[in-house]
Amino acid sequence: MAELLAIVLVVGVLAAVLGCLAWLAARVRRRGVGDNVMGPFEEIWHPAAHRFRAEIQVYEERMAPLPPAEGPGRRGDEPARPRAADH
């Protein structure tokens, strides 16, 4: 009887740990903050997804900020600045 109780206890603890890890993985992916934590595991088990995420990260870093909605020459408050080609 003690052996059966030990086996049930080990299986229960293993199931609890795996359940917590699955919950943590879902939470991290939902928030989008798990690249540093889950990145090495993703690289091991799914290299194509890791490369895809790396390309997206590089693309986001290269994106130039958009000009402000209200700026010089937009509403007619100030004349637009001439371009170098206009001189």
Is residue 14 very low, low, confident or very high in pLDDT (cuts 50, 70, 90)?
very high
Which candidate, 20, 44, 24, places its Cα nearest to that of 34?
24
Q: Is the pTM of this model over 0.85?
A: no
At 19-40, the pLDDT tens digits run: 999 998 888 777 766 666 667 7
Question: What residue spans define the domains of the chain?
Answer: 34-61
pLDDT, position 51: 82
Burial 29-39 (b: 16+ CB within 10 A, else e): eeeeebeeeee
pLDDT averaged over the chain? 77
Q: Which amino acid is present at 13?
A: V
Give the Å distances, CA to CA, from 82 to 16, 74, 87: 67, 14, 8
18, burial (CB in 10 Å: exposed 0-12, middle 13-18, buried 19+): exposed
Per-residue pLDDT reduced to its tens digit, 52-75: 877 887 887 787 676 766 655 555
